[in-house]
Amino acid sequence: MTPLAENSGSAIVAAVIGLGSMGMGMARSMKRAGLDVVGYDITPAAVDRFVAEGGRGAASPADAAKGADIVVSVVVNGAQTEAVLFGSKGVAAPMKRGAVFISSATMDPAIARDLAARAQALGLHYLDAPISGGAARAAKGELTIMASGSRQAFDRARPALDAMAGKVYELGEAAGTGAAFKMINQLLAGVHIAAACEAITFAAKQGLDLDKVYEVITASAGNSWMFENRVPHVLAGDYTPASSIEIFVKDLGIVLDMARSQRYPAPLAAAALQMYLAAAGAGMGGDDDSSLARLYAQLSGAQLPGFAKEPQGR
């Protein structure tokens, strides 16, 4: 790994913690926009790749955050976000007072509120800013960001937001509001993927031409963004993960926890969660979320492209 270099110019310094498929695209987008970007990831090869493209690398989150005006955390959940902020090599201690922490993880709104309060007590700004759009939009700087936080947090985060997003929804001053909006999105996304996989495998069970099913449905009222986006994975028999089964085990689990705490019935989300859990239990947890179609095929004996009767999970 290339050691952290000194910032030789006056550009705004942004640290990105998490250089996975989303974080790497976000880091590259900020770099294209002229920010001085420092990247850290638990996988050294990801840092090396970013450095090879002209970015700067760091050996820890704390190292990345030194001198940063903006820290963007692109990790999986609230627990990882807490570790990025307040762990033994976390960013909160070395961050400049008045700098902004942008949290992009999907989490329970209550956790976002707690993290924001703890960060603000240290003189930091916290922007609750979960993201949507996938790796392709992250790479283009065209994400949708659902953000909430103080006016100062938005102002300080603006250079990064402008570089990373096609749309930034400013949803209020209270941390947790952005997280709540994201959970509504994830409820719909998880249910829609499950419905799309159920439908295309039902079509296969009937012996229909699946390419023609895709053509007809995407031109009809039954279409959804998830049907249009995920069914091509099934048609190609390619379950390389763009978004994994385990992501929706986590996210729909959060939805159900939130619903239970508020005594709110969420039967469709609950049914979809059971399908993701079954797919994960069948060995497909790390595969693309369209692997629900393989689970339906396994249960029904339907024939899908590249798939007989046994799951292909790892």
The answer to whether residues 128 and 179 touch, using CB atoms and an 8 Å cutoff, is yes
For residue 9, what pLDDT is reported?
A: 54
What string of pLDDT tens digits covers the 314 residues of the chain?
444 444 445 789 999 999 998 999 999 999 999 999 999 999 999 999 999 999 999 999 999 999 999 999 999 999 999 999 999 999 999 999 999 999 999 999 999 999 999 999 999 999 999 999 988 999 999 999 999 999 999 999 999 999 999 999 999 999 999 999 999 999 999 999 999 999 999 999 999 999 999 999 999 999 999 999 999 999 999 999 989 999 999 999 999 999 999 999 999 999 999 999 999 999 999 999 999 999 999 999 999 998 754 444 44
Please identify every residue annotated as catalytic: 182
DSSP state of 233: H
Q: How far is CA 52 from CA 28, 45, 57, 165, 296, in A?
A: 12, 10, 10, 24, 43
For residue 10, what pLDDT is reported?
A: 73
Residue 45 token pair: 């090869």
Beta-carbon count within 10 A of 212 CB: 10
The answer to whether residues 304 and 201 touch, using CB atoms and an 8 Å cutoff, is yes
Q: Report the distance separating Cα 74 and Cα 241, nearest Å.
A: 17
Q: Which residue, 43, 32, 60, is CA-closest to 141?
A: 32
pTM comes to 0.90
Three-class SS of 140-206: HCCEEEEEECCHHHHHHHHHHHHHHEEEEEECCCCCCHHHHHHHHHHHHHHHHHHHHHHHHHHHHHC
- Phi then psi dihedrals of residue 286, to 5 deg: -90, 0
